[in-house]
């Protein structure tokens, strides 16, 4: 935490701080990110919150974030909510400490799986799953966008990374993996923050039992994935799972042990679909509410892709669609924060001193509403990502995938997949949103529109 300031001026904090409980007046347990966006507007680009004995320093100003993103002075810090997920993900890429050996080994081993050459091998699978979404929608008049995007992205990461199908569009209910995952993530994040002994014991008694059941179910899914691959033979699929199992078999210097392989599988299943499904859902929310923008994006897809599924090279040429996706991620970066820890005594901004080991949380939706983004930063405007506008902003103003060497390893995968899906929907489907719906954002590990439904029909020609 930031524990000292030049000029000995305390950090701003919400009013009505209570003994023991801290800054809980007006706090909603279900929406800490949205509460923090509001507080950033009221308190400024750096403030603190104390909740049940945990002190959080929240930073959103672009100048301060630029300092925190300096890789020579700062590294990733596991904030309490993320550290609480180590009981699920262990030393997987997302929850590993930067000095753990398995983080570097996994990063170096798996990085080739996310190169452009690797993207080409995933492209056809992504196109196929997008086609399955269309077929599914043809059987329905009204759809829950977030639920269906979750089905799509889980199916995509399952097939591309592990050659494993969750049968997302053939089963009557969503795969139980999703429910178990959401409950476990929510439980372990809250458990890590609510540490008052009597309160936590009473609050979590029954939830702890359900959490153990959910963790056992998730472990069973992972065991099934590994067992299926070994039954069919390692070294034949050339996917993420093959890379890990082949390295272990061949004594590669970066080989991962059996426990860590399972941690990586769970990490990619969770992170590989939660973030992208939210990004797609937010993009479709804003698109569906703007018929003129929808028509412009559709015309671009018709021109660039032609009448059928896109070739690999055509995907990135849909520049308006990419700007729409980027702007959705600006307003609602689905992974909404990351923490940075000082590696030595240092200073950020205009005199905020940090000692070695102090840490601060970057509030990405706050950063993405910094004044450098212009006026009306809560409004959706893809033109913010025209080339001239991008060049005029500080380089560190846009961070939907985190920063530095601990940034999301799968960001190119996510963007390519999301572009295919948005373009495929524009190309083939007409949507009509409920005019009375107002965006409600659900917060779990990631952000997601809640209750967002649209009527769907084949495209009118």
Looking at residue 4, what is its pLDDT? Answer: 41
Q: Does residue 204 carry a catalytic annotation?
A: no
Q: φ, ψ for residue 219 (rounded to 5)?
A: -65, -35
365 is written with which tokens? 């939706």
Catalytic residue among 408, 413, 424, 446: 408
Catalytic residue among 275, 346, 403, 446: 275
| 3-state SS class at 330 | helix
d(CA 458, CA 66): 46
> 257 CB contacts (<8 Å, ≥6 apart)?
102, 248
> 97 CB contacts (<8 Å, ≥6 apart)?
78, 91, 103
Rounded to the nearest angstrom, the gap between the alpha carbon of residue 455 and the centroid of all alpha carbons in its chain is 27
Rounded to the nearest angstrom, the gap between the alpha carbon of residue 461 and the centroid of all alpha carbons in its chain is 36
* pTM across the whole model: 0.94
Pairing of strands 447-449, 46-51: unpaired
Could you list the beta-strand ranges (E) of 326-411. Answer: 337-342, 346-348, 352-354, 359-363
Looking at residue 448, what is its pLDDT? Answer: 96
Residue entry with tokens 């009505």: 16
Q: φ, ψ for residue 145 (rounded to 5)?
A: -60, -50
| 3-state SS class at 143 | strand
Pairing of strands 54-59, 447-449: unpaired
d(CA 245, CA 264): 12
End-to-end CA distance of the chain, in Å? 58
d(CA 131, CA 143): 16
| 3-state SS class at 29 | coil
2 is written with which tokens? 């930031």
238 is written with which tokens? 């050339």
Q: Does residue 75 carry a catalytic annotation?
A: no
350 is written with which tokens? 């205009």
181 is written with which tokens? 């995952």
Number of C-beta neighbours around residue 440 at 10 A: 12
| 3-state SS class at 164 | coil
Beta partners for residue 455, in sequence order: 142, 432
Number of C-beta neighbours around residue 435 at 10 A: 6
Q: Does residue 275 carry a catalytic annotation?
A: yes
Looking at residue 7, what is its pLDDT? Answer: 39
Looking at residue 202, what is its pLDDT? Answer: 60
Catalytic residue among 74, 177, 380, 401: 401
pLDDT (tens place) for every residue of the chain, 461 residues total: 544 444 345 899 999 999 988 898 887 878 999 999 999 999 999 999 998 778 899 999 999 999 999 999 999 999 888 888 898 899 999 999 999 999 999 999 999 999 999 999 999 999 999 999 999 999 999 999 999 999 999 999 999 999 999 999 998 888 999 889 888 888 877 777 666 555 556 666 778 888 899 999 999 999 999 999 988 888 778 899 999 999 988 989 999 999 999 999 999 999 888 899 999 999 999 999 999 999 999 999 999 999 899 999 999 999 999 999 999 999 999 999 999 999 999 999 988 999 999 999 999 999 999 999 999 999 999 999 999 999 999 999 999 999 999 999 999 999 999 999 999 999 999 999 999 999 999 998 899 999 999 999 999 86
CA-CA-CA-CA dihedral for 239, 244, 247, 253, to nearest 10 = 130
Beta carbons of 153 and 417 less than 8 angstroms apart = yes
379 Rama sector, left if φ>0, alpha if ψ -120 to 50, beta otherwise: beta
Beta carbons of 286 and 342 less than 8 angstroms apart = no
d(CA 334, CA 278): 6
Assign 3-state DSSP to the chain and report helix, strand, coil percentages, each to 5. Answer: 55, 10, 35
């Amino acid at each position: 935490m930031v524990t000292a300031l030049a000029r000995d001026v305390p950090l701003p904090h919400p009013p009505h701080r209570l003994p023991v409980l801290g800054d809980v007046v007006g706090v909603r347990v279900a929406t800490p990110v949205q509460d923090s966006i509001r507080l950033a507007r009221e308190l400024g680009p750096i403030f603190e919150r104390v909740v049940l004995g945990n002190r959080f320093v929240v930073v959103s100003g672009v100048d301060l974030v630029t300092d925190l993103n300096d890789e020579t002075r700062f590294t990733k810090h596991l904030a309490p909510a993320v550290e609480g997920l180590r009981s699920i993900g262990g030393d997987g890429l997302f929850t590993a400490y930067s000095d753990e050996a398995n983080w570097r080994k996994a990063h170096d081993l798996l990085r080739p799986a996310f190169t452009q050459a690797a993207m080409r091998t995933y492209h056809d699978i992504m196109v196929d799953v997008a086609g399955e979404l269309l077929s599914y929608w043809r059987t329905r008049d009204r759809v829950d966008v977030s639920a269906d995007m979750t089905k799509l992205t889980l199916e995509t990461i399952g097939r591309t990374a592990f050659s494993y199908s969750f049968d997302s569009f053939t089963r009557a209910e969503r795969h139980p993996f999703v429910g178990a995952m959401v409950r476990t993530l929510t439980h372990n994040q809250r458990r890590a923050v609510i540490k008052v002994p009597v309160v936590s014991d009473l609050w979590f008694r029954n939830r702890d039992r359900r959490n153990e059941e959910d963790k056992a179910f998730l472990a069973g899914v992972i065991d099934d994935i590994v067992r299926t691959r070994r039954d069919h033979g390692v070294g034949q699929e050339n996917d993420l799972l093959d890379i890990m199992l082949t390295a272990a078999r061949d004594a590669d210097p970066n080989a991962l042990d059996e426990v860590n392989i399972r941690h990586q599988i769970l990490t990619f299943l969770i992170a590989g679909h939660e973030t992208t499904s939210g990004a797609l859902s937010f993009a479709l929310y804003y698109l569906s509410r703007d018929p003129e923008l929808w028509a412009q994006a559709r015309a671009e897809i018709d021109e660039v892709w032609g009448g059928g599924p896109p070739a690999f090279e055509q995907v990135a040429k849909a520049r308006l669609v990419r700007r729409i996706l980027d702007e959705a991620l600006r307003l609602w970066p689905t992974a909404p924060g990351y923490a940075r820890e000082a590696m030595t005594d240092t200073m950020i901004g205009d005199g905020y001193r940090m000692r070695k080991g102090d840490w601060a949380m970057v509030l990405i939706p706050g950063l993405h509403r910094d004044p450098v983004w212009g006026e009306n930063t809560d409004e959706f405007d893809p033109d913010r990502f025209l080339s001239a506008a991008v060049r005029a902003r500080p380089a560190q103003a846009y961070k939907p995938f985190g920063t530095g060497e601990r940034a999301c390893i799968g960001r190119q995968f996510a963007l390519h997949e999301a572009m295919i899906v948005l373009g495929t929907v524009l190309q083939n489907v007409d949507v009509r949103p409920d005019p009375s719906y107002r965006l409600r954002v659900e917060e779990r590990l990631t952000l997601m529109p809640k209750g967002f439904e649209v009527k769907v029909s084949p495209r009118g020609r």
